[in-house]
Amino acid sequence: MNSQHYNQLFDEVIKHYHVLNSVAQPYKNPYQLDSFEHLLHRKCWIDTVQWHLEDLIRLPNIDPIKAIGLKRKIDASNQDRTDMVEYVDGFFLKKHENVVTKLGAKINTETPAWAIDRLSILALKIYHMREESLRETASEEHRVKCAKKLSTLLEQRNDLSSAIDDLLSDIATGEKYMKVYKQMKMYNDESMNPVLYAQKNQS
């Protein structure tokens, strides 16, 4: 697989989500459990649901109790998103574990999986910007502005896709090497979030 396949898969996930267009809809992954496609499908689904949770929580008249519930879901989704990125990087580490790194090889500013994470988010931006550029209830000025933004997003996706392919090629040939740092998020951890452990100690 290369970035072209990643983009196609992401577009399919997003299109499938919008058939029902509900954050509460059941999730089914069509790919084999141990496949790379399975990881990418799950990753993009998490991003897509979270995108729409973020929309819902921004309703001006949202009930505060409902907003708290949505915030909890978004926090959990962020953790799932990070976990999936680490699984994807694990795939690449395993795939290239026997590559002999060349003398003078350099590390990239981000891992392949975090670059692919950006590609997934770009797919969502492209889908929704295209919707806005075609929305009949919007003004002509709005549609024209969104069409220009869509063009920029598509260019950005081409550039990022090319960069990802180059990075993976460099890793495969030993020109660059991977080094993965766990994200070590603290806000969901009762032993690290001072608000949570202070409350726990009081109870």
Q: Does residue 10 carry a pLDDT above 70?
A: yes
C-beta separation of 69 from 142 below 8 A: no
User: What Cα–Cα distance (Å) separates residue 79 from each residue in 65, 116, 138, 191?
Assistant: 22, 17, 35, 16
pLDDT value, residue 181:
78
Give the pLDDT confidence of 120-162 residue by residue, as tens digits: 999 999 999 999 999 999 999 999 999 999 999 999 999 999 9
Average pLDDT over residues 69-95: 95
- CA 192, chain centre distance (Å): 25
C-beta separation of 174 from 99 below 8 A: yes
